[in-house]
Amino acid sequence: MRVLVSGGSGLIGSELVRVLGTARHEVVRLVRAEPMPGPSRIVWDPAGGWLEAPRLEGFDAVVHLAGESVAQTPWTAEKKARIHDSRVASTRLLAETLSRVQRKPAVFACASAIGYYGDRGDEELDETSPPGKGFLADVCRQWEAAAQRAATAGIRVVRMRFGLVLSQRGGAFARTLPLFRRGLGGRLGSGRQYVSWIVLDDVVAAIQRILSDNSLDGPINVVGPNPVTNLELTRVTAGVLHRPAPLPVPAFLLRLKLGEMADELVLAGQRVYPRRLQAAGHTFAYPELEPAIRRLLEAG
């Protein structure tokens, strides 16, 4: 296939580009700045609403992963605007541009997140579950709606709702590992909030399945089949590293440090299942948490 990928330098995008290239697909990256000219890059300006439609002719698939990180810094008004605009405006621009090209891609796979469901306690959630409430849920709902123009034009649109991606290369899990290695890990808040996790290798495999399986469209939960509580994630991570995890972080301290982000991103729970991937016969290389973390740490 000839595949266009935005967000190709991120955690998921960089691995997807590598794997697709290894499989002899032609991968072109959609980038905001071009350090050197070349056929493997197309420049766009999502903030300015600029993208050359002729450059998008003839792709078999488009994978849209670009977006401002929701973590790393507290949610000021400016940060929240960047989170929103980097997702909604860029998706709308890409979907509208793809709808105008003559040789349209067969599939437009657009990132979303399980934040769509909001904080839902221990409720079991799948792709038929309604959206939740809060800033992230609102962003995800608008993010997904922005891709609709491509579907109206006859392109198969998949809205990939990613959970917590386990990897040592980046993301929230990688940022906590140094603490666990020093024996300074601990549950967050009560620890009862559910974490819907998936290993990076399984994320990329799921995206490959989405690109090739014409039966998959609409919302797809890209999570593993066995969500766990934060307490269980803490226990397993510490156990695999043979370290104690004696330092729980109280909810009030998280709220004091992180503000709104604490309740929406850290203390919120979503017990999400990949029903549609499973119904399509997709299997996961790492369905259980302990073997998954053990394999990650062994891989280095």
- Report the first-to-last Cα separation within the chain, whole angstroms: 31
Q: Kindly report, residue by residue over 101-134, the tens digit of the pLDDT.
A: 999 999 999 999 999 999 999 999 999 999 999 9
Please compute the mean of the pLDDT values over residues 141-170 and round it to a whole number: 96
> CATH no. for residue 287?
3.40.50.720
Which residues fall within 8 angstroms of residue 29, CB to CB, at 6 or more apart?
4, 5, 6, 8, 17, 40, 41, 42
Nearest to 71 by CA among 289, 285, 254: 254
Encoded tokens for 64:
């849209």
Please count the structural domains in the chain. Answer: 1
Q: What span, in angstroms and rounded, lies between the C-alpha atoms of 19 and 124?
A: 32
pLDDT of the residue at 40:
86
Q: Kindly report, residue by residue over 2-43, the tens digit of the pLDDT.
A: 999 999 999 999 999 999 999 999 999 999 876 555 668 899
Q: Kindly report, residue by residue over 55-65, the tens digit of the pLDDT.
A: 999 999 999 99
Which residue pairs from 17-26 have beta carbons closer than 8 angstroms and sit at least 24 positions apart in sequence? 19/204, 19/208, 20/208, 25/1, 26/1, 26/2
- Burial group, residue 19, by CB count within 10 angstroms (0-12, 13-18, 19+): middle
pLDDT of the residue at 38:
62
Q: What span, in angstroms and rounded, lies between the C-alpha atoms of 109 and 160?
A: 7
- Burial group, residue 72, by CB count within 10 angstroms (0-12, 13-18, 19+): exposed
Give me the domain span that covers residue 83.
2-299
